[in-house]
Amino acid sequence: MPTPTHPLKIGTRGSPLALAQAHETRRRLQAAFDLPEAAFEISVIKTTGDRVLDRPLKEIGGKGLFTREIEEALLSGAIDIAVHSMKDMPVLQPEGLTLDCYLPREDVRDAFVSPGASGLADLPSGARVGTSSLRRKAQVLVAYPHLEVVEFRGNVQTRLKKLEDGVAACTFLAMAGLNRLGRADVATAAIDPEVMLPAVAQGAIGIERRAGDTRAADMLAAIHHGPTGQRLAAERAFLAALDGSCETPIAGLAELDGSTLRLRGEILRPDGGARYGDDATVPIEDGAALGREMAARLLSEAGPGFFDWRG
C-alpha cells in the first residue's frame, strides 16, 4: 500500500483535462483505501502530441502520439500507473503493460461550440468548421458538404481562443471533457449520438499498469467500473478489427440495457464521400464478438481499399 514516503506515482499528460482525470483517479483510490492525498504523486509527462501542435495528427503518427512517452515511463518504473483518455489509446498495449481498469464513463456526446450559431444547419455555405478529428470532419462533410473544415488542434482553452479569434465559425469538443473541467457552459449544444456518433471510447478514462505489478493491480481492481469495461470491450474490438487510427474516420458506441448490449458503428471516407453504418444488439457477454463481426460487415460493404484513400 502506498504511503507518503513511498507514494504511488500517477503518470499523466499536462493539460488541464488530463490533470483533472488524474485527480479523479487519485480521489477514487484515496476513498477506496482511506489514504491521504500525500500517498500519491502526480507526474506530468509531455507527449509528442502535446509538443507538436502545428501539424495534423495524421502527419506525425496517429494515436500513439499521446501515450508513447507515458508508457515508456511506466515500463521504466518512473511511474506506477498511467491515466489516459481512452479515445486516444491504441487498441494494443506494449508488451509488459496491461489496461484493465476503467472509471465510470462520462457523457459520450460531442459538444457543438459556436459564438454565433446554434447548430451546423445555421451556418452559411463556405463557413469554416474547426476540428482536428478526421471522424468529425467526415461526419460534417457527409451531412453538410457546403461547409469548409479547417485544422483546429490544441487543448480546450487553445481551441476556444482560436474560435474567439475567428479562425472558424464553430468547433467541437467532447462533453465529457467539458464536464470534467466544470465548463459544460461552453457547449452551445450537445449533439445526440443519433446525429453524430462519437469516437470509440469517448468519455472513458483508462488506467494502465505494468503487467506484473500486483500492488497496482489490486488497487485498480477496487475502482474498476465493470459496465464501462463491457462497453469498451465491444467498441475497442470493433476498432481493432478495423485497424483504427487517427488516419481513419471511425465512430462507435456501445450501450447497455439490462443484459443486452447495443453497438452502433460507422466508417467514413475522410472527404465525406461515403459512409457505412451498422446497428445491432446482443447479450452483453457477446459484445466483443459483435464488434469484430460488425467491423467485418462494414468492410465487406465498403469494399477493398476503403481506408486507403487520402485527401
Q: Write out the H or E segment, with its range, that includes residue 82.
A: strand 81-85
Whole-angstrom Cα distance, residue 237 to residue 291? 5
Examine the residue annotation and report whether 88 is marked as an active-site residue of this protein: yes
What's the full length of the chain, in residues? 311
Is residue 214 classed exposed, middle or buried when 0-12, 13-18 and 19+ CB atoms within 10 A define those classes? exposed
Contact 86, 232 (CB under 8 A): yes
The sign one gets for the Cα dihedral 18, 24, 30, 36 is: positive
Q: Out of 34, 50, 54, 88, pick the active-site residue.
A: 88
Q: How far is CA 108 from the centre of its chain?
A: 9
Contact 133, 173 (CB under 8 A): no
C-alpha cell belonging to residue 207? 488506467
Identify residue 69 by its one-letter amino acid code: E
- Catalytically active residues, by annotation: 88
